[in-house]
Structure 1
Amino acid sequence: MLNNSPFQAAAIVRSRMPANFQPRVALVLGSGLGVLAEQMQDAVAIGFDELPGFPISTVHGHAGQLVMGTLSGVQVVCLKGRGHFYEGYGMGVMTSAVRTLKLLGVEMLFVTNAAGSLRTEVDAGSLVVLNDHINFLPGTPMIGPNDERFGPRFFSMANAYDAELRKLLQATAADKSITLHEGVYIAYPGPNFETPAEIRAFGRLGADVVGMSVVPEVVPARHCGLKVVGVSVITNLAEGLSPFPLSHEQTLKYAAIGAESLIKLILAFLENVAKTPAPKA
């Protein structure tokens, strides 16, 4: 039986949209990054608890709201918070939410998250644009019956993090004198932090940053044809690379520091998006 939650949620969102509102960009705001939604003009917020298929977050720093409005002249939809595999929802924790965004007509998904760095030169407060990922979660969101209304059974992940959008983001960062590293994200189930041995193994696999999210959004986004751009805010060096013990408090503290640069970057990126014509439906 196919899940109609995305259609039900999209209908609710449309009923609350401002007049002539057509979002181009969707943003997923990770730990400590929800402050960006507060900068939106003419914002309308809807709690995840009002939207069928949306996860109710149990994590401090994830508000659980869909907020729509205008940023840098672009109409956007923000997910202020997200669901995680470790909360017990399963790998499909974000699939309905992402499909709802697709039904609302967005052309790209900009995912942000807090992550640990496997490179000592990329320390807390740094920004890393993602160019690929390694999925260390148990399975993928697409396990089970395929919903042909959104995409094919088998689909490519070759350009999961869109190369053109990444170039635009890198050019934007250079123009604003923001240091933007590039790397591969590895998804770890959590909620415990990784062991030093796991971090050493991940480094040998080719990972640059590690976190507990992103993949559950990116896979369904690519399945339904959304372009993806992703940025990790580094909150710590990964376990075994620093003498400091890891904690969620530390994550929120450095996410807030990195968020300052990320907000500046996203606002400038959206200005550049506004200069490009929206693709024809």
Structure 2
Amino acid sequence: METLASPNAFQRATETALYVRSALPDILQNPKVAIVCGSGLGGLAQAIEPEPKIDLSYSIIPNFPQSTVQGHEGKFVFGLIGPQKLPVALLVGRAHFYEGHTMDLVTFATRVCKVMGVETMIVTNAAGGLNQDYAVGDIVCLNDHLNLAGLVGIHPLRGPNIDDFGVRFPPLSDAYDLDLRRRAHKAWKKLGFDKQKRRLHEGVYAFVAGPTYETRAECRMLRGFGADVVGMSTVPEIVVARHSGISVLAFSLVTNIAVLPAGPRGDDAEIHAMDKVELDKHLSQGKANHEEVLQAGKEAANDMQALVKQILCDIHAP
């Protein structure tokens, strides 16, 4: 297995794109938009028309990494969306670095999308809320990120530059397309979602390698750095998308609120009379779990689905 991105990545992405196209009718072979469905958000695939619709399991696609995480079905879905019948590709599930994949494989699907002609990518994820003004179920339109893993060398563009995709030193100050973000806020209001409990924010996403959820001290550090949400995906895909000239819109669904206050100390007087069960309950307050993530995703799926569909309809309206 390759450990660095290499010129062969373009060849492999081209081979994969040719295979995928061979399984598609002509009308679906050149999608202009790709949508990445994060944990619990596979329901976004329901936003496309029932016909024509092609599902391809990652397991049969050459060179594709396999997703092993609950809530990630692992399939490439192609169809049409909206009254304009826009051809789209949906990645229902993604590969993560923490699963043992190299960054080259984590971002391989993004490169396949580029070869297939994708111009816009909408990336979604489930994330922990660091900003204490956020609530579970809120949606965050990302406007920047902290690539913690990338800053210490775990970077998807490390190694020989692939000139077929982009330049050696791509800027990322414009990573999150401003026009697309503006359209997202307009679509939110057009749908009347601004009148409901669930809110749409803009914020900064901190990418960490995982798979452990963050400690209290790590959460305070990330919040101090300016992060509003934290998660274990998305940023590598966005880096590679921007390297390839793909415009990006990204959303985080807040599935749990991170615990920022320091935990109880062993010499706190209030815990001295507690038994072991009481101590465990006291320490675990606010602890995140993956089932919680999937449930929040399920509850927000309809709103996220409607929002993405409305944005795409507005972009490509005649």
Calculate the TM-score normalised by the size of structure 2.
Answer: 0.83
Give the conservation status (yes or no) of the 8 Å contact 2:19–2:62. no
Q: Which deviations, in whole Å up to 9, do the C-alpha atoms of 1:146-190 show, x marking residues without a partner?
A: 111111111111110111111111111121122311000001111
- Indicate whether 1:2 and 2:2 are aligned: no
For residue 104 of structure 2, give the secondary structure of its aligned residue in structure 1: coil
For residue 20 of structure 1, give the secondary structure of its aligned residue in structure 2: helix
Which residue identity does 1:34 align to in structure 2? Answer: G
Supply the distance in 2 between the matched residues of 1:229 and 1:70 (Cα, whole angstroms): 19
What are structure 2's unaligned runs of at least 5 residues?
Answer: 1-5, 194-198, 262-283
Supply the distance in 1 between the matched residues of 2:259 and 2:68 (Cα, whole angstroms): 24
> Residue 26 of structure 2 corresponds to which residue in structure 1?
19
Supply the distance in 2 between the matched residues of 1:47 and 1:183 (Cα, whole angstroms): 33
> Residue 275 of structure 2 corresponds to which residue in structure 1?
none
- Indicate whether 1:188 and 2:208 are aligned: yes
Give the conservation status (yes or no) of the 8 Å contact 1:222–1:228. yes
Which residue identity does 2:34 align to in structure 1? Answer: A
- 1:121 positional shift: 2.1
Q: Which deviations, in whole Å up to 9, do the C-alpha atoms of 1:212-265 show, x marking residues without a partner?
A: 000110011011100000000110101336933210001101111122211111
For residue 26 of structure 2, give the secondary structure of its aligned residue in structure 1: coil
What are structure 1's unaligned runs of at least 5 residues?
Answer: 277-281
Supply the distance in 1 between the matched residues of 2:107 and 2:306 (Cα, whole angstroms): 29
> Residue 65 of structure 1 corresponds to which residue in structure 2?
75
> Of residues 74, 79, 100 in structure 2, which corresponds to 1:88?
100
Q: How does 1:65-144 map to 2 (within 5 A)?
A: 65-72=75-82, 73-137=85-149, 138=152, 139-144=154-159
Q: Which deviations, in whole Å up to 9, do the C-alpha atoms of 1:67-110 show, x marking residues without a partner?
A: 00012132100000001110011222332211110111111010
> Of residues 187, 192, 203 in structure 2, which corresponds to 1:177?
192
> Of residues 41, 47, 52 in structure 1, which corresponds to 2:62?
52
For residue 54 of structure 1, give the secondary structure of its aligned residue in structure 2: coil
Supply the distance in 2 between the matched residues of 1:77 and 1:49 (Cα, whole angstroms): 17
Supply the distance in 2 between the matched residues of 1:240 and 1:200 (Cα, whole angstroms): 5
Give the conservation status (yes or no) of the 8 Å contact 1:54–1:96. yes
Q: Percent identity of the aligned residues? A: 41
If each structure's helix is expressed as a fraction of its own residues, which one has the higher value?
2
Supply the distance in 2 between the matched residues of 1:53 and 1:170 (Cα, whole angstroms): 37
> Of residues 233, 236, 240 in structure 1, which corresponds to 2:260?
240
Q: Which deviations, in whole Å up to 9, do the C-alpha atoms of 1:20-49 show, x marking residues without a partner?
A: 333111000000111121342221011112
Which residue identity does 1:270 align to in structure 2? Answer: L
Supply the distance in 2 between the matched residues of 1:120 and 1:204 (Cα, whole angstroms): 12
> Of residues 289, 293, 296 in structure 2, which corresponds to 1:251?
293
- Indicate whether 1:166 and 2:189 are aligned: no
For residue 246 of structure 1, give the secondary structure of its aligned residue in structure 2: coil
Give the conservation status (yes or no) of the 8 Å contact 1:54–1:94. no
Which residue identity does 1:147 align to in structure 2? Answer: I
Supply the distance in 2 between the matched residues of 1:54 and 1:190 (Cα, whole angstroms): 21
Supply the distance in 2 between the matched residues of 1:109 and 1:154 (Cα, whole angstroms): 21
- 1:113 positional shift: 0.2
Q: Give aligned pairs, total.
A: 276
For residue 77 of structure 1, give the secondary structure of its aligned residue in structure 2: strand
Coordinate RMSD, CA, aligned:
1.5
Moved more, 200-209 or 20-29: 20-29
Moved more, 45-54 or 188-197: 45-54
Supply the distance in 2 between the matched residues of 1:102 and 1:168 (Cα, whole angstroms): 23
Supply the distance in 1 between the matched residues of 2:191 and 2:108 (Cα, whole angstroms): 35
Calculate the TM-score normalised by the size of structure 1.
Answer: 0.94
Supply the distance in 1 between the matched residues of 2:179 and 2:53 (Cα, whole angstroms): 29
